[in-house]
Amino acid sequence: MEKQGVESRDLANTTDPDERRLAAVVHAAFLLLLCSSFARFLTRDHGGTRTAWVVALFTAFALLYALGHFLAPPPPAGTPPNRRHLAWLASVSAVWVALLALAPSATWCAMPLLFAGLYALPPRIAVPLTAVLTALVVISEIRVAEGPLNPNMVVAPPAVAAVATAVFVHLQRQAARQRALIDDLVRTRRDLAATERRAGVLAERQRLSTEIHDTLAQGLSSQQMLLQAAERVWLTDPETARTHLHKAAGITARSLTEARRFVHDLAPADLAEHSLPAALAALAARESGPGLTVDFRHDGDAPSPALPERVEAALLRIAQGALANVREHAAATRAALTLTCLDDRIALDVADNGRGFEPTALPTEPDRTRGHGLPAMRIRAHQSGGTLTVESTPGEGTVVSAAIPLVVVS
């Protein structure tokens, strides 16, 4: 993780336009001071055998500075300098000291070195280096002074160096705090992304479990009931047994179709070729049989524009789950499936005349031993932006109502 953070900072430093502009200003200042110092040497300080040495040192000083930009660039902000950069800084400083001893005109070439040291070195090293460079500048100014000593020669260089050092140290500490804040933000964003991935995985698991419950599990439950009924009348009423087997085969075919569409993440099979009202009517017809009659009713005009596929699938799955509960638990003889299209919402009601129950006893989480049932229906309604309510009284039946606002699905 730390390596990734360093790499990201390296990239940021190489592409930061402010860094490039600052480097350009420093290089331009160095070139200007070097040319000015060399011109002053040629006009005032040249002469004798040292001229050739001074010219050679000026040349070496310029070449070292230029080569350092390409071969030993400064480290990214907040990272320690490498050995190559330290070697360059030491060599160019040594050449400048030798040049200063022969040609005091090179005094102010110390400014780029001061910047390089403050930028690359930690404060505990950069501050003493700045003090040494400043002392050499003051000594050089005193050497070439003519007449009475000007106090500014002694006071000005330390004052300028102190201000520059204080500003650089402050900026370095502020930059360190900013980098720490950025690292915290990056870690927080990474943790948030991981949390969102985990939430997405859990949501997908929930979706898969409800899909399996509403398709394969319900189909297998119906097949089991039909096969058990066929087994009971196999010898006494072969015709009824064959009818049960035929219905079980039909459920198997529908479950297989649903499973294939489920694997390919497609809409429910009933919605593939039919509208939602037609699919609900077909569901009511399938659920009707000996002992249970399911009626379907459609009130209102179909919404315009049409409902999204995910909302139609959710309503169909809710209807399937509610009727499965009626068949398995309610002991009802009649059930009514009603789809109501209003101006602001679409509602689905499933009512039965079964035994009913106490709504306060409803589970809030899926029951791993019995299935998902009402909690899964609530999840489907909530994911579509709607609500699901249950009204029931023991001995008086149950009404399950799902309502989805059209504003949410438009």
Average pLDDT, the chain: 79
Q: Does residue 384 lie within any of the structural domains?
A: yes
Q: Does residue 16 lie within any of the structural domains?
A: yes
Q: Does residue 376 lie within any of the structural domains?
A: yes
Q: Does residue 172 lie within any of the structural domains?
A: no
Q: Tell me which of 94, 116, 144 is where a domain ends.
A: 144
Q: Is the confidence at residue 222, as pLDDT, over 60?
A: yes
pLDDT of the residue at 65: 83
Q: Is the confidence at residue 352, as pLDDT, over 80?
A: yes
Give the DSSP per-residue string, 305-338: SPPPHHHHHHHHHHHHHHHHHIIIII--SEEEEE
* Burial grade of 30 (CB within 10 A; 0-12, 13-18, 19 or more): buried
Q: Tell me which of 92, 124, 144 is where a domain ends.
A: 144
Q: Sign of the CA dihedral 31, 36, 39, 44? A: negative
Q: Tell me which of 128, 144, 160 is where a domain ends.
A: 144
SS3 234: coil
144 confidence band (pLDDT: 50, 70, 90): low
pLDDT digits (tens, 9 = 90+) for 229-252: 888 888 888 888 888 888 888 878
pLDDT digits (tens, 9 = 90+) for 259-268: 766 665 555 7
pLDDT of the residue at 294: 93
Q: Does residue 183 lie within any of the structural domains?
A: no
Q: Does residue 391 lie within any of the structural domains?
A: yes
pLDDT of the residue at 369: 42
Poorest-pLDDT segment among 243-247, 255-259, 330-334: 255-259
Q: Is the confidence at residue 382, as pLDDT, over 80?
A: yes
3 confidence band (pLDDT: 50, 70, 90): very low
pLDDT of the residue at 13: 43
List phi, psi (to 5°) of 60: -60, -40
**Strand pairing of 345-352 and 387-392?**
unpaired
Domain housing 342: 274-410
Which comes out higher in pLDDT, residue 389 or 145?
389
| Average pLDDT for 292-296 | 93
Residue type, 166: A
Question: Taking phi first (over 0 means left), then psi (-120 to 50 degrees means alpha), and beta for anything else, what does residue 291 get?
Answer: left
pLDDT digits (tens, 9 = 90+) for 28-44: 887 888 888 888 887 87
Which comes out higher in pLDDT, residue 5 or 403?
403
Q: Is the confidence at residue 7, as pLDDT, over 60?
A: no
Which CATH number covers residue 369? 3.30.565.10
pLDDT of the residue at 389: 92
Two structure tokens written together for 236: 């006494």
Q: Are 345 and 405 in contact (CB under 8 A)?
A: yes
Poorest-pLDDT segment among 3-17, 199-213, 311-325: 3-17
Q: Which of 233-242, 298-307, 348-357 has the highest mean pLDDT?
A: 348-357
pLDDT of the residue at 1: 42
pLDDT of the residue at 286: 86
List phi, psi (to 5°) of 13: -70, -35
pTM above 0.85?
A: no
| Average pLDDT for 361-386 | 70
Poorest-pLDDT segment among 92-101, 172-181, 213-222: 213-222
pLDDT digits (tens, 9 = 90+) for 46-95: 656 678 888 888 888 888 888 887 787 777 766 777 788 788 888 888 88
Helix 309-325 vs helix 373-383: crossing angle, to nearest 10: 160
Domain total of the chain: 2
372 confidence band (pLDDT: 50, 70, 90): low
Instruction: Could you list the beta-strand ranges (E) of 235-309.
Output: 293-299
Nearest to 259 by CA among 315, 226, 212, 209: 212
pLDDT of the residue at 281: 92
335 confidence band (pLDDT: 50, 70, 90): very high
Q: Does residue 255 lie within any of the structural domains?
A: no
| Average pLDDT for 346-373 | 73
